[in-house]
Structure 1
Amino acid sequence: MSHELSELLPDELLERCRARAQGYDERNEFFHEDLAELKAQGYLRMFAHKNDGGLGFGLEQVAAAQRRLATAAPATALAINMHLVWTGVAHLLAQRGDDSLRFVLQEAVAGEVFAFGNSEAGNDQVLFDSNTVAQPLPDGGYSFTGTKIFTSLSPAWTRLGIFGKDSSGAEPALVHAFITRQTPGYTIKDDWNTLGMRASQSNTTVLHGAIAPADRVFRKLPVGPTADPLIFAIFACFETLLAAVYTGLGERALQLGVATVHQRRSQKTGKSYAQDPDIRWRIADAAMAMDGLYPQLETIARDVDHGVDHGGQWFPKLVGLKVRATETARTVVDLIIRVSGGSSYFAGSELGRLYRDVLAGMFHPSDEESAHSTIASAWLGPLED
Structure 2
Amino acid sequence: MTSLTAHPQPVTESGRRLCAIVAGLDGYLADQAAQNDRAGSFAAPSVRRLEEAGLLAACVPAEDGGSGLQSVHDLGVVTARLASADASVATAVYMHLALSAHFARTAAATPGQDTPHRRWTRAIGEHRMIVCSTVTEPGASAWTPTTTAVPDGGGWTVTGQKVMASLSPAATHFYTRLRAETPEGPMIGSVMIPRDLAGVAVHDTWDGLGLRGSGSGTVLFDGVRLPADAVSFRGRWGERPGPGAYAGKVRVAAPLLGVPLGIAEAAHRATLATLTGSGTPGRRRTGSAGTTAALAEMESAIVSARGVLRSLLVDVDAHDPDTHGPALMRACIAAGMVVERAALQVVDLAMQLSGGGSYRAGHPLGRLARDVRAAMFMRPHAPAEEWADALAELALTAPVVNS
Per the alignment, residue 52 of structure 1 pairs with 64
Per the alignment, residue 210 of structure 2 pairs with 196
Aligned residue runs from structure 1 range 262-281, under 5 A: 262-263=276-277, 272-281=284-293
What is the TM-score normalised by the length of structure 1?
0.88
Decide which of 149, 153, 156 is 1:134's aligned counterpart. Answer: 149
Report the Cα distance in structure 2 between the residues aligned to 1:212 and 1:301, rounded to whole angstroms. Answer: 38
**CA, structure 1 residues 203+271, in 2 after alignment: closer, same or farther (shift >3 Å)?**
closer
Name the aligned partner's letter for residue 187 of structure 1: A
Report the Cα distance in structure 1 between the residues aligned to 2:59 and 2:144, rounded to whole angstroms. Answer: 28
Report the Cα distance in structure 2 between the residues aligned to 1:311 and 1:37, rounded to whole angstroms. Answer: 36
Per the alignment, residue 82 of structure 1 pairs with 95
- CA-atom RMSD in angstroms: 2.6
Name the aligned partner's letter for residue 121 of structure 2: L
Unaligned runs of 5+ residues in structure 1 are: none
CA contact (8 A) 2:19 2:78 kept: no
CA contact (8 A) 1:93 1:233 kept: no
Aligned residue runs from structure 1 range 100-119, under 5 A: 101-111=117-127, 112-119=129-136
Per the alignment, residue 380 of structure 1 pairs with 396
CA contact (8 A) 1:85 1:234 kept: no
Q: Secondary structure at the match of 1:254?
A: helix
How far off is 1:350 after superposition? 0.3
CA contact (8 A) 1:134 1:163 kept: no
How far off is 1:100 after superposition? 5.7
How far off is 1:116 after superposition? 0.8
Aligned residue runs from structure 1 range 192-341, under 5 A: 192-223=206-237, 224-226=239-241, 231-232=245-246, 234-263=248-277, 272-308=284-320, 309-341=323-355
**CA, structure 1 residues 143+306, in 2 after alignment: closer, same or farther (shift >3 Å)?**
farther
Aligned residue runs from structure 1 range 20-169, under 5 A: 20-58=32-70, 59-94=72-107, 96=109, 101-111=117-127, 112-123=129-140, 125-126=141-142, 128-139=143-154, 141-169=155-183
The runs of at least 4 consecutive aligned structure 1 residues that moved more than 6 Å come to none
Q: Secondary structure at the match of 2:175?
A: strand
Which segment is superposed worse, 315-324 or 352-361? 315-324
Per the alignment, residue 371 of structure 2 pairs with 357
Q: Secondary structure at the match of 2:60?
A: coil
Per the alignment, residue 13 of structure 1 pairs with 25
How far off is 1:360 after superposition? 1.5
**CA, structure 1 residues 56+376, in 2 after alignment: closer, same or farther (shift >3 Å)?**
same
Q: Secondary structure at the match of 2:68?
A: coil
CA contact (8 A) 2:84 2:266 kept: yes
1:294-317 per-residue CA deviation (whole Å, 9 max, x = no partner) reads 233233333333443434223222
Report the Cα distance in structure 2 between the residues aligned to 1:305 and 1:221, rounded to whole angstroms. Answer: 27
Report the Cα distance in structure 2 between the residues aligned to 1:106 and 1:218, rounded to whole angstroms. Answer: 20
What is the TM-score normalised by the length of structure 2?
0.85
Report the Cα distance in structure 1 between the residues aligned to 2:57 and 2:314, rounded to whole angstroms. Answer: 19
Report the Cα distance in structure 1 between the residues aligned to 2:19 and 2:234, rounded to whole angstroms. Answer: 41
How far off is 1:369 after superposition? 2.7
Report the Cα distance in structure 1 between the residues aligned to 2:205 and 2:356, rounded to whole angstroms. Answer: 31
Unaligned runs of 5+ residues in structure 2 are: 1-8, 11-15, 399-403
CA contact (8 A) 1:330 1:358 kept: yes
Report the Cα distance in structure 2 between the residues aligned to 1:114 and 1:381, rounded to whole angstroms. Answer: 36
Q: Secondary structure at the match of 1:245?
A: helix
Which segment is superposed worse, 62-71 or 214-223? 214-223
